[in-house]
Amino acid sequence: SQQGEEDPQALSIQEGENATMNCSYKTSINNLQWYRQNSGRGLVHLILIRSNEREKHSGRLRVTLDTSKKSSSLLITASRAADTASYFCAALKTSYDKVIFGPGTSLSVIP
């Protein structure tokens, strides 16, 4: 397993704007996952993208994966104050790998 590195560490935007967060990893992967954590709560799984996929959508979330650059991005469209949270990526080398989290991106959506 390997740790994903999120970028930026912190992001502040106005409600209604789009938020983009990036994740980089170092070796080949089976899948990459994004999680959200509201302050003081457990993590919530948002989306999983497999290594043979390039883009995936879920509601206002859009995830892309570029295996040649070993990077992924998470786009949240039309952000809401409720999107304020920390976002973590996790890159799994195999489908049976454990998840290791990076430091995350702290997103603040200002009403």
Partner 1 sequence: DTGVSQDPRHKITKRGQNVTFRCDPISEHNRLYWYRQTLGQGPEFLTYFQNEAQLEKSRLLSDRFSAERPKGSFSTLEIQRTEQGDSAMYLCASSLGGYAQYFGPGTRLTVL
**Contact between 38 and partner 1 per CB under 8 A:** no
Q: Which of 11, 49, 92, 107 binds partner 1 (CB under 8 A)?
A: 92
Least Å distance, CB 98 to partner 1, is: 6
44 CB burial (10 A radius; 0-12, 13-18, 19+): exposed
**Contact between 45 and partner 1 per CB under 8 A:** yes
Interface with partner 1 (CB under 8 A): 31, 33, 35, 40-45, 48, 86, 88, 92, 94-104
